[in-house]
A and B are shown apart, each in its own frame.
Chain A
Amino acid sequence: MMMIKRSWFAILLTLLFGLLVVSVVSAQQPTPSDDQVNAIAKQLYCPVCENIPLDVCPTTACAQWRELIRQKLADGWSEQQIKDYFVQQYGARVLGTPPAKGINWLVYLVPPIAILAGIYVLYRAFRSWKQPAKQMDIPSSTSGPSAGQEAAQDEYIKRMEDEVRKN
């Protein structure tokens, strides 16, 4: 009876220990790869080297930032949580896409408005080019010059030819 109790106790202890090991292992994330780090890093810019995305920036500061991303990923942070952390620490200018608030709205509003205005200007220009052409077509296609106009033109040509002959 004592032996059975001992063996049950041993099995229970082994199971508990195994459960503990499994939970510790599942809490740790595998070391994030460079690709995983760069997927987030390419959306960020460090103020030290402006206009160079974090994933390709060669400075020590950017290397430290990439390591920070790796560490946060290993801690189980999501992409959005990491980006929020960087904004909190270093300001919104670290983001490749500025948040749509305050003066940043200009970035989202000005280009479409400029494109629409450009389309409107082109439309107006094409219309104004078309209208004079139509006006010139109308007399020739409908009635043509009147007899009086033709006579006046003939008279003018005759006078020109006379002048040329005189000289």
Chain B
Amino acid sequence: MNEISPSPIEQPSQTVRPHFWRILAWVGLFALLVVVAMVLLRKQQGPVAVGQKPPTFILTTFDGQQIGPDEMSGKVVLVNFWASWCKPCEQEAADLESAWRHYQPRGDVLFLGIAWTDTESASLAYIKKFGITYPNGPDLGTTISQAYRTTGVPETYVIDKNGNLASLKLSPYSSLAEIQAAIDPLLGP
């Protein structure tokens, strides 16, 4: 008569508790898998595609000038990622500078050089060596290259006057004519 039997009130809590932890564990595992999948998808996305609006950024140049969306709007913008230690970058450096000198008087073309994972002294020596006069600055925190999902250097993105990506080059330009072929169709008559 004195047998201890589980009370009817206690029974449900004993069965509910393992379920709660089990559901929590599955939800946690699922959330972790979603995060991992998102990171993997982002890594496999590749660079910004032609026709898309590329990410906006503000570049602080080596001489302290700030160039952002306001300075870029309504212009054809050539964004070139480079590094002083990058030998292929040297192949196109002179042609890029020649192209800049060709387009600069028009006023509707902007060239931007972004030094990727470079030291400031080496970048400045490179700029001096090739006589580069268009705005150049470091990719502070590698935020711009991460936004563009670059895969290395040199990489060049040409943005049209509407702010859409018109072309991209994942290797060095081989000639001045090739640069002009990327820019000329985007300019008005």
Contacts and interface: CB of A to CB of B under 8 A. Distances in A.
Interface residues of B, number: 17
A110 B36 CA distance: 12
Interface string A73-112: 0000000000000011111010000000001001000100
Contacts of B64: none
Interface stretch (B68-76, B115-123, B177-185): B115-123
A71 to B, nearest CB: 8
A59 to B, nearest CB: 7
A64 B141 contact: no
Contact of B141 (A59, A90, A110, A117): A90
A98 to B, nearest CB: 13
A59 B117 contact: no
A41 interface: no
Contacts of A103: 35
A60 B141 contact: no
B70 to A, nearest CB: 25
Interface in B112-153: 117-119, 122, 138, 140-143, 146
Which of B117, B122, B141, B142 has most chain A Cβ within 10 Å? B117
Give the interface SS of chain B, mostly helix, strand, loop or mixed.
helix
A31 to B, nearest CB: 17
A37 interface: no
Closest 5 CB pairs of A and B: A60-B85, A91-B141, A91-B142, A61-B85, A64-B119
Interface of A: 46-48, 59-61, 64-65, 67-68, 87-91, 93, 103, 106, 110, 113, 117
Interface of B: 25, 28, 32, 35, 83-85, 117-119, 122, 138, 140-143, 146
26 contacts: A46-B117, A47-B117, A47-B142, A59-B85, A61-B85, A61-B117, A61-B118, A64-B85, A64-B118, A64-B119, A64-B122, A68-B119, A87-B141, A88-B140, A88-B141, A89-B138, A89-B141, A90-B142, A91-B141, A91-B142, A91-B143, A91-B146, A93-B142, A103-B35, A106-B35, A113-B28
